[in-house]
Amino acid sequence: MRAVNLMTTDERRGPSIPTGRSGGGAYVVLVLLGGLAVFALLYGLADHAISGRRSEVASLAARAQQAQARAGQLTPYTSFLQMREQRVQTVTQLVDSRFDWAQAFHELGRVLPPGKVSLGSLAGTVGSSSGSSAGASSSSSSSSAGAASGSSVTSATPPGSIPTFALTGCAVSQAEVALMLDRLRLIHGVNEVSLQSATKSGSGGGGGGAGCEGGRVSFSAQVTFDALPSASTAGGSSSTGTASTAAAPASPASASATPVSTSSAGAVR
Amino acid sequence: MTGRDRTVVMVLATLGVLAAVWLFAVAPKREQAAKLGTEVSTAQAALASAESQLASASAAQAKYQDAYASIVRLGKAVPASQEVPSLIYQLSQATNEKNVEFASITASVPGASGSKAPTASAGAATAGAGATQMPFTFVFNGSFDSLYNLFQQLDAFTTLHTTSGELNVSGRLLTIQSIKLGPVSASGGSAPGSGAPGGSEQLSGTITATAYVLPAGQSLTGGATPAGPSGTATQTASTGAAGSANAPAVVQVNP
């Protein structure tokens, strides 16, 4: 069966937009005006933002200039503070780089066998890192000192320098010399203890030159400490520098008392 | 041209007008506004930086009195000039306290193997930017105990508290390079029984040590006075002498 459209011819086109006599031109004009109005609004907002931001930039620049001028007036203060910091750093490095002689002597007095061993001479030197026998003779200390003074480092005992003690003295027996060598290793920060000679008096040997009484053993030994730490580690080291004083096992009272007993025992003449 | 065609042309023309207005009027304005927004951000950053500098400078100004005091105190440890008399005075004080005889002091020439007589400029060796070295050789006579205490005292002139990191300065900074201990008669020191206590237990300690001074051309305070640093309006012209190589009175040694 064939379908038949029952709608009238006018109704078949559907609902149409009323365009009037302009044929839709009025709508186009309205859209155009609306668009221009929106654009005018955006333009105005942008213009307002521009003027506002310009004044803000000017204000900020003026304030920044004012602050800079004020800071410029106070520059001498900041420079002075920087100079203070540099001085503090310099002195701190110099203090950090020192070898703690008092602590080393204190521990030396503690470890020597009392009454059995006496020291005739003691020469301690903070030598260069390359020289391993600094301080072994009386002339080495002055040459080492001169070398350190002429070096390009700030401290007279730069990091890496190796402190050494050269000891000569007398012991009642060779066994006491051996005990002394063992105990010298107990000193904090000692890296090496080496015996140079131990000769019983009257046996014809050269001896240590200490002029020991008959039957006693004259000895000569060298104690080598760890190298002085670098500036970055000096603060944490307890073997050298002022830091070790705080970390010393003995109180100041006992520290001062121990050498007395050593002295009374004739450890150093 | 049909009605439909006219409509299309009108729509296209409208869109063209709107696009032209956007491209030539609104968009440039908005771009300019955005650019100014960036400038505002830059100006704000510059202001923040300037205010930070000002705050830092103001803080430096507030700390000036403490900084001046500490730099003067550091002058005790590392003075601007050699200050040998004050060094001798300090050592004399320390040896008196520790019951040690201060036998001799010799200014060493840097690099020489022996000691020479001290002169006004002898013994100063520039060593880096921080300080200039002044090597000395001292001879002290005393007991082992007294000498040990003296070494402690020499170190205590300038110490560093490891916990707080603060420097404690009460005298000249000395770096001991070598120590020789021996019987008084054998080491070239003074004769036994020459004044120091202890009798037969007397030792002679020969110490090679280095003191430090500021490099030549550096004054202790850089021309600053207690009122203000050099170049500020607060500094009066009459107080300028405090920054000279002649150390101010506050640098006097007081171990």
Mutation to test the B interface, candidates A22, A29, A73, A91, most B Cβ within 10 Å: A91
Are the Cβ atoms of B148 and A105 closer than 8 angstroms?
Answer: yes
Residues in A closer than 8 angstroms to B233, CB to CB, are: 73
- Residue of A11 and A36 predicted with greater confidence: A36
Residue A255 has pLDDT above 70, yes or no: no
Residue B235: pLDDT band with limits 50, 70, 90: low
- H helices of A74-123, in order, are 75-96, 101-111
Residue B68 has pLDDT above 60, yes or no: yes
pLDDT on residue B255? 36
Report yes or no: A125 and A144 within 8 Å, Cβ to Cβ: yes
Q: Is this model's pTM higher than 0.80 or not?
A: no
Are the Cβ atoms of B133 and A65 closer than 8 angstroms?
Answer: no
Residue A268: pLDDT band with limits 50, 70, 90: very low
Place of tokens 């007993």: A261
Of B11, B67, B175, which is closest to A28 when you measure between CB atoms?
B11
Counting one residue from chain A and one from chain B, the pairs whose CB atoms sit within 8 A come to: 330
CA distance A6 to chain B (A): 29
Tokens representing B119 are 């002169």
Residue A261 has pLDDT above 70, yes or no: no
pLDDT on residue A133? 38
- Mean of the pLDDT values across residues B98-116? 72
End-to-end Cα separation, chain A, in angstroms:
144
Residue A212: pLDDT band with limits 50, 70, 90: confident
Residue of B nearest to A260 (CA): B145
pLDDT on residue B8? 87
pLDDT tens sequence across A173-202 = 999 999 999 999 999 999 999 999 999 877
How many Å apart are CA A82 and CA B235, to the nearest integer? Answer: 19
Report yes or no: A190 and A184 within 8 Å, Cβ to Cβ: yes
**Which among A7-21, A123-137, A185-199 has the top mean pLDDT?**
A185-199
Residue A29 has pLDDT above 90, yes or no: no
CA distance A196 to chain B (A): 18
ipTM tops 0.90: no
Lowest mean pLDDT among A28-42, A88-102, A117-131, B11-25: A117-131
Average pLDDT taken over every residue of chain B:
78
pLDDT tens sequence across B142-161 = 998 899 999 999 988 988 87
Residue of B nearest to A47 (CA): B29
How many Å apart are CA A174 and CA A120, to the nearest integer? Answer: 17
Q: Residue B71: which of B236, B237, B210, B250 has the closest Cα?
A: B250
CA distance A265 to chain B (A): 10
pLDDT tens sequence across A47-60 = 999 999 999 999 99
Cα B75–B79–B84 angle (5° rounding)? 130
Average pLDDT taken over every residue of chain A:
74
Of A77, A92, A256, which is closest to B149 when you measure between CB atoms?
A256
- Mean of the pLDDT values across residues B51-67? 93
pLDDT on residue B234? 57
Of A88, A154, A268, which is closest to B74 when you measure between CB atoms?
A88
pLDDT tens sequence across A75-127 = 999 999 999 988 888 888 888 889 999 899 999 988 988 888 988 899 999 98
Residue B208 has pLDDT above 90, yes or no: yes
pLDDT on residue A123? 94
Residues in B closer than 8 angstroms to A75, CB to CB, are: 57, 231
- Residue of A230 and B166 predicted with greater confidence: B166
- Residue of B152 and B123 predicted with greater confidence: B152
Residues in B closer than 8 angstroms to A62, CB to CB, are: none
How many Å apart are CA A191 and CA A144, to the nearest integer? Answer: 20
CA distance A217 to chain B (A): 18
Q: Please give the share of chain A, as a percent, with pLDDT higher than 90.
A: 40
Are the Cβ atoms of A101 and B37 closer than 8 angstroms?
Answer: no
